[in-house]
Amino acid sequence: MTSSVVPFGKPRGERADAARNREHLLRTAREMLAEHGAERVTMDGLAERAGLGKGTVFRRFGSRAGIFRALLDADERRFQEQVMSGPPPLGPGAGPVERLVAYGRARIAFLVDHHAVARAALDRAQPVPAGDASVTQLHLGILLRQATSLPHLNGLAIQLTAALEGPLLLYLSRPEAEEALATETVELLGDAWETLIERLAR
Amino acid sequence: MTSSVVPFGKPRGERADAARNREHLLRTAREMLAEHGAERVTMDGLAERAGLGKGTVFRRFGSRAGIFRALLDADERRFQEQVMSGPPPLGPGAGPVERLVAYGRARIAFLVDHHAVARAALDRAQPVPAGDASVTQLHLGILLRQATSLPHLNGLAIQLTAALEGPLLLYLSRPEAEEALATETVELLGDAWETLIERLAR
């Protein structure tokens, strides 16, 4: 597997000027996000700061949530690229147990880091964020198959995906639980994940 | 622990006539549900069939989703009562590993059986069903402490709760995935859960 399957944020077939606009808008949105937080990123504000028409922003993202989905999508690609071809143990080259543990810890950190963006990416019409859990499920399934001779691996891959991503996805729609996303929670979940994987693999 | 902590569907302090109305309404809603499915249960239809005023139904449930939340809540109590004081291995009297496996299989069946009711209980304002996952988490934590000497049990209880309930909660807001709730899925998840628990406990 190589890093060149899909160039980041540049879907195949996109015209060059459209791709440049897209990159420019995403970069501008990231700046606004870093400076003012997710609440202050709006369609109008983004268009103004990017020096592009509101129509361009609207056609590109469809809605305010669409901006955040695009940001999340670009970062997801980068994350999955690290998994597919980055350095071990997250990337190839380490043993499957070590990679399972590394994936879990990296994924927990990713979901926590992207918490504000992921919440802003939620549409009311799409109550539960589908996320890229299917990628996690696929990856966990492959590594579990290498690391263990457990029966019922398909079911286990589903359940371990939920174990890893579920606790963090739930925070997306429950702002009152946000304080639980402290560093201790990240370590708590990372340590528990490592225990889970080591027990399954031995 | 006894079965008399909270009489089903009759919150402490409810006046006798209000409790009778409530019981009558829930029974009527269940009949309508069994005969016509969740889509056909409405506030007006329920009031008419129960022979009570629309105002009474509204005050009792607040919204159509509230009817289903009340049904789900009553069944949750019954389920948890089986866990606390029903026959083993779901109830007390079996070893902790056997109880963990039994809880998981029973919980999967419960969530699948209550799928239509739980989906109808979703309010748009409450995107992710909180459910009674906290009860599952508490119960799994207690049994894991009895069954194992694993480190990081608090984190593990969170993750195993997500592993057990997450895959089924996700179906609530994704009608297109409903066909996956076939008998095979229930067995797949139940078998995987058993594998998970046995590995953690040995």
Average pLDDT of chain A to the nearest whole number: 85
Q: Which of B116, B172, B121 is nearest to A127 (CA)?
A: B172
Range with the poorest average pLDDT among A23-27, A175-179, B39-43: A175-179
Instruction: Compute the average pLDDT of residues A14-39.
Output: 90
The amino acid at A3: S
Residues of A with CB under 8 A from a CB of B: 122, 124, 126-128, 130, 150-156, 158-160, 162-167, 169-170, 172-174, 188-189, 191-196, 199-200
Report CB contact under 8 Å: A158, B193: no
Count of Cβ atoms closer than 10 Å to residue B179 Cβ: 9
Q: What's the pLDDT band for A181 if we cut at 50, 70, 90? A: low
- Measure CB to CB from residue A166 to each of B130, B166, B191 and give the nearest one: B166
* Gap between the Cα atoms of A125 and A63, Å rounded: 12
Q: Do B107 and B165 meet the contact criterion of CB atoms below 8 Å apart?
A: yes
Q: Where are the alpha helices (DSSP H) in A37-152?
A: 43-50, 54-61, 64-85, 96-113, 115-120, 133-147
Which residues of chain A have a CB within 8 Å of the CB of B160? 163
Q: Are A68 and A117 in contact (CB under 8 A)?
A: yes
B199 to A195: CB separation less than 8 angstroms, yes or no: no
Closest approach of B39 to chain A, Cα-based (Å)? 19
pLDDT at A183: 74
Q: At what angle do helices A64-85 and A16-36 cross, to 10 degrees?
A: 100
ipTM tops the 0.90 cut:
no
- What share of residues in chain A are helix, strand, coil (percent, to 5)? 75, 0, 25
Query: Looking at this protein, which amino acid is placed at residue B175?
Result: P
| Range B50-58 contact pairs with CB under 8 angstroms and sequence separation of 24 or more | B50/B24, B50/B25, B52/B21, B52/B24, B52/B25, B56/B21, B56/B25, B57/B25
Query: What pLDDT sits at residue A121?
Result: 87
**Is B192 within 8 Å of A128 when comparing Cβ atoms?**
no
CA distance B77 to B11: 11
**What's the Cα-to-Cα distance from A154 to each of A27, A99, A140, A145, B161, rounded to whole Å?**
39, 19, 10, 10, 18
DSSP class of residue A5 equals S
Among B99, B105, B110, residue whose Cα is nearest residue B143: B99
pLDDT at position B194 is 97
**pLDDT tens per residue, chain B (202 residues)?**
333 333 444 555 668 888 888 899 999 999 999 999 888 999 999 999 999 999 999 999 999 999 999 999 999 999 999 999 999 999 999 999 999 999 999 999 998 888 888 888 877 655 555 455 678 999 999 999 999 999 999 999 999 999 998 888 766 656 556 666 667 788 999 999 999 999 999 8
Over 60: is that where the pLDDT of A29 sits? yes
Please name the residue of chain A whose CA is at the shortest distance from the CA of residue B197. A200
Angle, alpha carbons B171-B173-B176 (nearest 5°): 65
Answer yes or no: is pLDDT of A197 > 80: yes
What is the pLDDT at residue A4?
35
The larger pLDDT score, comparing residue B181 to residue A15, is at A15
pLDDT tens readout for residues A48-90: 999 999 999 999 999 999 999 999 999 999 999 999 999 999 9
Q: Which residue is associated with the tokens 């263990």?
A: A148
Of residues A132 and A41, more confidence is placed in A41
Query: Is the predicted pLDDT of residue A157 greater than 90, yes or no?
Result: yes
Amino acid at A113: D
